[in-house]
Structure 1
Amino acid sequence: MPQKKIILFVLFIFSVTQLFAQTDKIYTSNGDVLVGEIKSMQKGVLVYDTDYADSDFNVDWEEIEGLICTRMLMIYTIDGEKYTGGLGFLPDEPKKLTIQTLDKNISVSMDEIVEITSLEQRIIDRVIISIDAGLSLSKANNVRQTSASAKVSYRGIKWNMSATFNNVGTKQDNVDPTKRTDGGFTLVRDIWGNGMILGGAEFLSNSEQLLDLRSTFRGGLGLYLIRTNHLYMQSGLGLAFTQEKYGGEESTSQGSFEGLGLFDFNAYDIGDLTFQFKLTTYPSISDWGRWRIDMDTSIKYDLPLDFYVKLSYVHNFDSDPLVDVSKNDFVFKSSIGWEWD
């Protein structure tokens, strides 16, 4: 008998837990009320989980009239403020939310909220992985070009981390094959307002330019110039140290200190299109008058089942390379990929 009571008590506790585990409510513009667990909102898309589905649901932020969440959330607003608390909503005030912190309530328009992160969210739910590949063939000279890319990013409460890898190889008749490989990692720490601390490293190898390896380690401060549910624009300044090694008949290597200038523009609410433009400048301090400029532009179109097609253009400029090679190097590629988030 006591054993039966224990089993009934455990089942009762489990039922109550399940009943209150997902009490967040999402009010949509067409009058629906969705019940689930809010996980995040980023780049104009709200992600929530329900008991009756194996995968998460995504809802366009503009299609939501209001939210109710009694759990603890990290909420970021357009003016750079960060709040910890729940969310309240009055049906007679659509597109208006109340952020319920421990000591006060703050009334905000939904257009002012640019990001939401659940403090209970699992680490695996904060990870985004994307992979893509491309292939092009040309009958003339039997040219064959292959490309592969991968990116892993993590969005924490205070820290953002990402790592990238890109490889492009070209083969053609009567010409030595060429290979270009680059990658790196970035660390971003949110600080006051829209400010951030930046850090990371980049690596580049390019057989066509006789560059065995260029390693750049950098750090600095960044600032969101614009941050909305449709786009963001950020810039940064800092310092970098670069170690270069060139091959060829006589290998050459050099280490140098450089300044760092960053500009990043990302528009992600253009229907199924995403456009990104990055510009990084490295004015040399050790070799005064030398400039390196890296530009990366891409357009991505989302397909069903998390697939996408992507066009990208990368351009590297070096005003005074260590060996006698071209000052410019660029790659244009088209690819198809898949993203897991």
Structure 2
Amino acid sequence: MLRKLEVLSLIAFFGFSTFSFADQVTLKNGDRLTGTVVKSDGKELVLHTDAAGDVTLKFDAIQEIKTDAELHVTLKGGKTVVGPVTTSDDKIEIATKTSGTVEAPKSDVTLMRNDAEQQAYDKSLHPGLMHGWDGGINVGFSVARGNSQTENLALAFNAMHPTLHDKITLYASSINTTNNLATPSTVASLEQGGFRYDRDLKPKLFVFGAADFMANALQFLDLRQVYTGGFGFHAIKSNRTILDFLGGLNYTHETYSNGTLLVPATPPNPAIYESYGKTNRFAALTLGEELNTTLGKSTVLTQSAGFFPNLQQTGEYRFTFNLGTVTKLNKWLGWQNQFGDIYVSNPPTGSKSNDVIFTTGLNISFTH
């Protein structure tokens, strides 16, 4: 009997200890949740629970918060205090180690973070160039045999290095399709790559510089180089959606090779081509928009459009449109779909103005 009482006492002790060291949130409707307060922006509060994972609560719907762990609380005016938090009615109390209990109206709370969130935030302010990267690699491959003998390989890479006030973006992609019949031919051959640097001037205004490169064998484009500078505006910037508008100037340098061979060279007569190589150098406008939004819990949609009118040859322009989705299958693996349209108003003779591309395949994400 005594042995049973000892066991029950230990269970009660550890159960009470576990309960007492958990954070508690009481809602205005009387519901009480137990877990760990993760963060709050003054509008919503994220509570991590063992049973349901992360639970997001409306801050206005909360009657009382009581934490045993320290929280980093930022109040209006920028003051930050650290300590366990207790709220009642419309007042918040933070029991600091150095300044005693700090009281403030609950409406003055602009941010709350636990230690892990605060450490991640502090690290994001000044990450080294070798840290803080997020990105992914897309892979798609197909083979057809029978009436056709085609092979298609699509590869893409993107990486982003965001900090509190700036962002570096890198990207590269390649699509190559060949038909290996009696007369082999290239069905598609398109390579793109580039980088961009954004720097915030104000919460909604930023300046950017970019360099983009492209080669397209079917348009006889050996290389197009575009160097851009301009300003951007964050029309929407939230945790789920970012919508930016871009405007600026660019310098374009593009080199085309000879087109399709019509008549082989017969000395002293030179070969005759459908079109002949040339180099274009000109200034152009850069006008565009970019959208990044989260759909549901596991899908991210990205969309961008760009219009580049030639300032030196009126009526000549380029237009690009991209739309893609990545659906997470687990933490590092996803399924991606990508649609792209590239239009050139003045392609070489024998080539089309429009290239439409659709790829699908696996996405492998990474964080460093």
TM > 0.5 = yes
Evaluate the alpha carbon distance shift between residue 179 and residue 26 of structure 1 in structure 2; reply closer, same or farther with a 3 A threshold: farther
Cα distance per residue 1:46-70 (max 9 Å; x no partner): 9x9xxxxxxxxxx868369789644
The code of the aligned residue for 2:207 comes to I
Evaluate the alpha carbon distance shift between residue 215 and residue 83 of structure 1 in structure 2; reply closer, same or farther with a 3 A threshold: farther
Say whether residues 1:118 and 2:127 are aligned partners: no
Number of aligned residue pairs: give it: 284
Post-superposition shift, 1:137? 2.2
Say if 1:246 and 1:323, in contact at 8 Å, map to a contact too. Answer: no
Higher strand share: 1
Partner SS, residue 119 of structure 1: helix
Say whether residues 1:62 and 2:45 are aligned partners: no
Partner SS, residue 325 of structure 1: coil
In structure 2, the partner of 1:191 is 201
Partner SS, residue 120 of structure 1: helix
The code of the aligned residue for 1:183 comes to G
Say whether residues 1:234 and 2:241 are aligned partners: no
The code of the aligned residue for 2:242 comes to Y
Say if 2:220 and 2:348, in contact at 8 Å, map to a contact too. Answer: no
Choose the corresponding residue for 1:207, options 196, 199, 217.
217
Say whether residues 1:285 and 2:279 are aligned partners: no
TM-score by length of 1: 0.71
* Separation in structure 1 between the aligned mates of residue 203 and residue 159 of structure 2, nearest angstrom: 26
Evaluate the alpha carbon distance shift between residue 93 and residue 305 of structure 1 in structure 2; reply closer, same or farther with a 3 A threshold: farther
Say whether residues 1:31 and 2:40 are aligned partners: no
Say if 2:303 and 2:322, in contact at 8 Å, map to a contact too. Answer: yes
Say if 2:219 and 2:347, in contact at 8 Å, map to a contact too. Answer: no
Say whether residues 1:144 and 2:154 are aligned partners: no
In structure 2, the partner of 1:16 is none
In structure 2, the partner of 1:3 is none
In structure 1, the partner of 2:286 is 260
Say if 1:225 and 1:234, in contact at 8 Å, map to a contact too. Answer: yes
Once the two structures are superposed, the pairs formed by residues 7-26 of structure 1 within 5 Å of their partners are none
Cα distance per residue 1:229-253 (max 9 Å; x no partner): 2212110111111100001253211
Partner SS, residue 304 of structure 1: coil
Evaluate the alpha carbon distance shift between residue 185 and residue 271 of structure 1 in structure 2; reply closer, same or farther with a 3 A threshold: same
Q: Percent identity?
A: 16
The code of the aligned residue for 1:151 comes to N
In structure 1, the partner of 2:11 is none
* Separation in structure 2 between the aligned mates of residue 188 and residue 215 of structure 1, nearest angstrom: 19
In structure 1, the partner of 2:133 is 127
Cα distance per residue 1:134-188 (max 9 Å; x no partner): 1122334111110111112111232200111101110112342242100100100
Partner SS, residue 214 of structure 1: strand
Say whether residues 1:294 and 2:320 are aligned partners: yes
* Separation in structure 2 between the aligned mates of residue 217 and residue 309 of structure 1, nearest angstrom: 32
Evaluate the alpha carbon distance shift between residue 252 and residue 339 of structure 1 in structure 2; reply closer, same or farther with a 3 A threshold: same
The code of the aligned residue for 1:134 comes to G
TM-score by length of 2: 0.66
Deviates more, 1:270-279 or 1:129-138: 129-138
Partner SS, residue 164 of structure 2: coil
* Separation in structure 2 between the aligned mates of residue 83 and residue 191 of structure 1, nearest angstrom: 20
The structure with the largest alpha-carbon Rg is 2
* Separation in structure 1 between the aligned mates of residue 79 and residue 211 of structure 2, nearest angstrom: 32
Gap runs ≥5 in structure 2: 1-22, 27-31, 60-64, 95-103, 112-116, 259-272
Say if 1:222 and 1:237, in contact at 8 Å, map to a contact too. Answer: yes
Choose the corresponding residue for 2:355, options 307, 329, 338.
329
The code of the aligned residue for 2:227 comes to F
The code of the aligned residue for 1:32 comes to G
Post-superposition shift, 1:84? 8.7
* Separation in structure 2 between the aligned mates of residue 82 and residue 272 of structure 1, nearest angstrom: 36
Deviates more, 1:216-225 or 1:150-159: 150-159
Say if 2:328 and 2:334, in contact at 8 Å, map to a contact too. Answer: yes
Say if 2:135 and 2:160, in contact at 8 Å, map to a contact too. Answer: yes
Evaluate the alpha carbon distance shift between residue 32 and residue 129 of structure 1 in structure 2; reply closer, same or farther with a 3 A threshold: same
* Separation in structure 2 between the aligned mates of residue 328 and residue 84 of structure 1, nearest angstrom: 56
Post-superposition shift, 1:132? 1.8
Cα distance per residue 1:295-341 (max 9 Å; x no partner): 11001100113111100011111112355421101210002021112
Evaluate the alpha carbon distance shift between residue 233 and residue 26 of structure 1 in structure 2; reply closer, same or farther with a 3 A threshold: farther
Deviates more, 1:157-166 or 1:139-148: 139-148
Deviates more, 1:206-215 or 1:125-134: 125-134
Say if 2:24 and 2:33, in contact at 8 Å, map to a contact too. Answer: no
- Over the residues paired in the alignment, what is the CA RMSD in angstroms? 4.0
Partner SS, residue 218 of structure 2: helix
